[in-house]
Amino acid sequence: TDLWNWVKNILNGVSDRRNMSIMLQDAQHNDVIRWNVKNAWPCRWSGPVLHAGSSDIAIESVEICHEGLELA
């Protein structure tokens, strides 16, 4: 629920920028590469389109804006 609460803060006008890291992992869940992100905030969220007669998976996406990105 941390991610959802962060998105809700931004939607409610609360300035809530955070430093974060994004890690790419291999099939065995070992870190392959890491990006450190400075002063990030969720700037776009899109929810799934649900169709009652479909068995498609539901996908949500969150776009993160930031003030700095570095390869660690």
Residue for token pair 């962060």: 6
| 33, β-bridge pairs | 24
- For residue 48, which amino acid is it? P
Q: Tell the residue number behind the tokens 């570095």, with chain if given.
A: 70
- The string of pLDDT tens digits covering residues 12-50 is 999 999 999 999 999 999 999 999 999 999 999 898 888
68: pLDDT confidence band, cut at 50, 70 and 90?
A: very high
